[in-house]
Amino acid sequence: MVEDIAAALAAHGLLLRGGFNFAGGEETPSGLSGAAARSVLLVGQAGAAPWPHFLRWREGRSQTIADPLDTWSREVIGAVAETFGARAASPSDTPYLPFQQWAMQAEGLKPSPLGILMHPQYGLWHAYRGALLFEDEIAFGETREVVHLCDACVDKPCLKSCPVDAYSADGFAHGTCLAHVRGHNGAPCRTGGCLDRNACPYGAAYRYPPEVQAFHMTAFAGL
């Protein structure tokens, strides 16, 4: 079944990002019938693979849809969920579901100094578009031990490239970042994406094109 789900998602440029069975006793989100989910599969992207699919979908629709990428993701992942008897959840659903904690468990990833999870192949250029929640357990193999590239990165250019030091050991200064991106000197971030994220040397082949980075930055900054 998992291979069939992966194939259904791949038709939209989406990637099955692993999953796990919830440990007994913890509070879990509900599945399709409303009973507690027993397993989760994460759906995401490596690089900007879904972008052309999203653009084609968007052509035939109103250009004023709020959160169009979320809407596309919900539509596509919702259809796959329906086919396979799962409930689809979105990273934007509130209260927020712990997508990054789930991803760490599913793929053995760890956070970079930016908070974005570091992937051994995709670097910082990956994201989550949804999750499939099942009321039955799934037979998973062992989660592989993955190398955390940030451990070997001495220079940490990701912490040195932002003109307002939005990312530091104290975490992400959301307000400082927003004010800069919206302001006069924020043009490079608006058109080409976050300078700290772009400074990371890993996963360069998966770096989102400027058009995609500008789309996300516009959404982030509410421009």
- The residues that touch ligand B12, with contacts defined as CB under 6 A, are 91-92, 96-101, 115-117, 126-128, 172, 174, 177, 194, 197, 216, 220
The answer to whether the beta carbons of residues 42 and 19 sit under 8 Å apart is yes
> Which tokens is 22 given?
């919830």
Query: What is the C-alpha to C-alpha distance for residues 68 and 51, in angstroms, rounded to an integer?
Result: 12
DSSP annotation string for 148-207: -HHHH-SS-GGGT--TT--EETTEE-HHHHHHHHHSGGGHHHHHH--HHHHH--TTGGGP
CB 91, min distance to ligand B12, A: 4
- Least Cα distance to 198 among 162, 163, 174 occurs for 162
What's the min distance (Å) between Cβ of 204 and ligand B12? 16
Q: Measured from the CB atom, is 23 or 139 closer to ligand B12?
A: 23
Shortest distance (Å) from residue 59 CB to ligand B12 = 23
CB of 222 to ligand B12, least distance (A): 10
**Shortest approach of ligand B12 to residue 126 CB, angstroms?**
5
Q: Among residues 27 and 59, whose Cβ is nearest to ligand B12? A: 27
Residue with smaller CB distance to ligand B12, 102 or 134: 102
CB atoms within 10 A of CB 170: 7
Given the complex with ligand B12, which of 5 and 200 has the nearer CB atom? 200
State which H helix or E strand residue 21 sits in: strand 15-21
Tokens of 37: 């989910």
Our CA angle for 110, 146, 44, nearest 5°, is 65
Q: Which is nearer to ligand B12, 3 or 151 (CB)?
A: 151
